[in-house]
Amino acid sequence: MTDIRAAIAAERREQAAVLRGLTREQWDSPSLCAGWTVKHVVAHTTLPFRSKGSRVLFETLKSGGRFHRAADRMAREDAAALSADELAGVVEANAGHPWAPPGGGLLGALSHDVIHGLDITVALGLDRRVPHDRLRLVLDGMRSRNVRHFGADLDGKRLEATDLDWTFGEGRPVRGLAQDLLLLICGRTLPPHRVS
């Protein structure tokens, strides 16, 4: 648990540093999350630090129990209401925040931060590599249910990391950096040159 908490804090601190260096145009650029800009993604990832659970519950109920619809609405509202500097500051100030997604625990929190961080840096073409120890924790937690949850099409494919001793699935090899393969599991569309 201590290792995961330290990994979460380190990931958030590093992401805050990346966010502090972004231009306004980069904040308004598309992320790998369909329909979301970088600012929407950061508004989403910082929601647990800024909002009470009652807001999330109310918005989810208002969305007919569909959390994804509520999350989208809250990200858009919060991105419009908060500045990029404010959002980066929230990430920075909450490196040690104990939030964990329901049913996901600390590993779920780390996965949430790593995946959404990649949604930003990969979309912007930034050369940030998630440290292997953090990436290994997230990858080792991936299961077939994650593929189903994200709607990824990995049937007949075996993901093979070129920078870690890690594979996932069975079938035709798809090779790339471990962090890019993680994004494939999460249903993200990558630039073609990133995997082969």
Instruction: Report the alpha-carbon distance of residue 131 to residue 10 in Å, rounded.
Output: 10
**What is the pTM for the complete model shown?**
0.95
What's the order of all strands across the beta sheet hosting 167-169? 167-169, 157-161, 172-176
Residue 110 sits in the same domain as residue 28: yes
Q: How many domains does the chain have?
A: 2
Domain that holds residue 100: 2-129
69 and 158, same structural domain? Answer: no
Decide which of 101, 129, 157 is a domain's last residue: 129
Report, as ranges of residue numbers, the positions in the chain whose pLDDT lies below 70: 1
Q: CA-CA distances (angstroms) from residue 136 to 133, 142, 152, 167, 192?
A: 5, 10, 20, 11, 24
Give the pLDDT confidence score for residue 1 in this predicted structure. Answer: 62
Across the chain, the runs of DSSP E, i.e. the strands, are 157-161, 167-169, 172-176
pLDDT in tens, 113-169: 999 999 999 999 999 999 999 999 999 999 888 888 889 999 999 999 999 999 999
Instruction: Clarify whether residues 111 and 170 are in a common domain.
Output: no
| End-of-domain residue from the set 129, 157, 172 | 129
- Give the Cα separation of 194 and 33 in Å (integer): 17
Quote the distance between the C-alpha of residue 90 and its chain's center.
16
- Name the nearest CA neighbour of 26 among 73, 71, 88: 88
Residues 105 and 183 in one domain: no
